[in-house]
Amino acid sequence: PDLFGISSHEIIDEPPSLQLLSGNMGRQLTEEILIADNNKRRAEILGNYLINRVRLIKSPDDLAHQCVRKILYSDEPVIISKLADEHFISSRQLERKFKTITGFAPKTYARLSRFHRALNSYGTPYKSLTDIALDCGYYDQSHFIHDFREFSGYEPSLYFAGKGEGIEYRNA
């Protein structure tokens, strides 16, 4: 509810439009995403918008918000059971609180955050996809590829080569 003013339970299994979630700003964001040159730029636009929304949340002392920030800004992979222990609650309690404010389980949110960091790292000079994966906390390239496919629907190599949008099928 803090991110968009809508309980995550109201939008389960029904992906809402950005306009529903953010009004006029959502409409502008949708337009920016649609006219972006490539998927990398689209992911940057949406990712930056979501990070800015998280920063605007007004209750920084709340446990779940602290956990969200820890996941977003940690340079190391966050282990959810340790995160719960640090805040003296059970993993299940943390999951319930986390789902209430983000709509995701903490582990899923951590995976999305790690994926977003990897997207933003692409294009760094002299770094291969494997280097980026390892720098962003993936154990190996196969975990990176798995998350990439799940969250984007594309293979990383095709996505970053600009072939993830079906260009090769348009003139068929």
Domain boundaries, given as residue ranges, for the chain: 8-164
CATH for 8-164? 1.10.10.60
Structure tokens at 115: 């994926």
Give the model confidence (pLDDT) of 1-46 as tens digits.
566 777 666 676 777 777 777 778 888 988 999 999 998 899 899 8
Residue 170 has pLDDT above 50, yes or no: no
Distance CA 105, CA 112 (A): 11
Distance CA 22, CA 12 (A): 17
Q: How confident is the model at residue 167 (pLDDT cuts 50, 70, 90)?
A: very low
Own/partner pairs for 73-79, CB < 8 Å, 24+ apart? 76/137, 77/110, 77/114, 77/137, 78/110
Give the model confidence (pLDDT) of 119-131 as tens digits.
888 777 777 888 8
